Amino acid sequence: MTESRDEGLLRAIGPAGLTASVVNAVVGGGIFALPASIALELGPSGPLAFVLGGILIGLVTVSIASVGGRVAQSGGTWAYAEAAFGPFAGYLTGVLFLLTSVLASASLAAGLVDSVSGLHPMLARPEMRVAELVLLYAVLVGVNLRGVRAGTGVISGLAVIKFLALLLFVVLGVSVVRAENFVVRELPTAAHVGRSTILALFALCGMETALGASGEVRDPARTIPRALFAATVLVVLTYLAIQVVAQGVLGSELASATAPLADSVARVSPGWKSVILGAGAVSMAGWLVGDLLGTSRMVFAFGRMGVLPRFVTAVSEKSRVPSRAVICYAAIACVLAAFGTFTTLAVLSSVGTILLYLSCCGAACALQERRIVPLLAIAALLAMLFSCTSAELLSIGAVMAAAGVWYWMTSRWRRAARMTDPGKRSP
């Protein structure tokens, strides 16, 4: 990997901006429904899932932070694997990151427009759904094309709104918490604990999306570790508090709630339910803005590498943003959202995330002498793979195999081009 990958980009993202980006990438719309899924597995012991998930994501965070400060270029996780294992491994990690991110973006966008369709029957029509998705991504692209400062500014603003809403939920909910809702009548099995921890971990994932714009981070050796630690602690404590309050308010009803946070605050006052539902929509929109900011830089980096057409490497002279990369990524996500469902896309994205974190932790082992934490993270992530179905693993594997063939083909084309024009530089 060379510095040319980031040529023309502006290092303007500071600690506050990157922390907000990481928080926004992690806290998506899922937190507004997740407490019910956790309660279905563990019941009153639900908060334990976030304790265990927080420990595991903490191991991954330490591993990524240790390598993130050393290798701070556009591509984030791809850059880490490339520095540790070489260009091909970096490329495959980049493909994995891009795949999981675009699936997650499409999944959340599909969930957002599907929730809106409930407001009026006409909005549920297929053509209207597609129109809503196109409009949604057009707005997201417009925000990002204004520049990295504009993108992080919107992200910071939405992250503040989102966290104020979640804190409001905690403050309001505490007043109606009942102690009897925490009584554990039956200890959960190891299988239920494992499944709930996986759910919590997936809810805590997402830091890698914001790190896709590492080539635009100011003083990365200091900014990246600080931002990762601050964001991780803030998110884990917030999620833990939300699970505790939701369990304390709804009790056994939490497991069957379709909108657990909204249903909880409705016990305080019915009017607050609409506020929390609106906050869920803001949360989804904010996550999509941050994802487009971070992951589109992977498309840009692939173009600089020569794997994708040079067309995607164009940088706007005015905003210094890789505009074509932003548009291409948004278009792919929009198409996937139009033809897929929230559940199908989300499951595939989650499987890929486990493999992605394995690559990051492996890079941390290779690039530093202190390997205890990365090795612990690797062991835990490998254990999680046993919860994935063979079909899910084969689906991701098939995409990765095709990506490997494409890399081989484009490498041959690049070598042929250099032989035809010896003076041409390798990307």
| Structural domain of 258 | 3-407
Does residue 341 surpass a pLDDT of 90? no
Ranges 149-158, 337-346, 353-362, 415-424, most confident: 353-362
Whole-number mean pLDDT of the chain?
A: 80
> Given pLDDT bands bounded at 50, 70 and 90, which one contains residue 427?
very low
Asked if residue 407 lies in contact with residue 91, where contact means CB atoms within 8 angstroms, the answer is yes
Separation between Cα atoms, residue 352 and residue 297, nearest integer Å: 19
pLDDT over threshold 80, residue 415: no
118 CB burial (10 A radius; 0-12, 13-18, 19+): exposed
Asked if residue 352 lies in contact with residue 99, where contact means CB atoms within 8 angstroms, the answer is: yes
Of 28, 66, 87, the residue nearest 353 (C-alpha) = 28
What's the pTM value of the predicted model, to 2 decimals? Answer: 0.75
User: What is the pLDDT averaged over residues 344-350?
Assistant: 79
> 419 lies in a domain?
no
Q: Give me the pLDDT at residue 413, please.
A: 74
**At 1, is the pLDDT very low, low, confident or very high (cuts 50, 70, 90)?**
very low
- 259: domain CATH number is 1.20.1740.10
> Which pLDDT band, with edges at 50, 70 and 90, does 209 fall under?
low
Mean of the pLDDT values across residues 105-134? 80
Q: How far apart are CA 195 and CA 51, in angstroms?
A: 14
Residue 414 is assigned to a structural domain of this protein: no
Q: What is the pLDDT of residue 250?
A: 92
Identify whether 418 is part of a domain.
Answer: no
Lookup result for tokens 């790190």: 211
52 in any annotated domain: yes
pLDDT of 72 above 60:
no
Q: What is the pLDDT of residue 358?
A: 92
Does any domain span residue 264?
yes
Determine, yes or no, domain membership for 379.
yes
Instruction: Indicate if the pLDDT at residue 183 is higher than 60.
Output: yes
Q: Are 426 and 306 in contact (CB under 8 A)?
A: yes
Q: Is residue 415 part of a domain?
A: no
More confident residue, 337 or 415: 337
Into how many domains does the chain fold? 1
Q: Which residue bears the tokens 């980009």?
A: 9
Longest dimension (CA), the chain: 77
- Does 346 map to a domain? yes
Highest mean pLDDT among 198-212, 272-286, 301-315, 377-391: 377-391
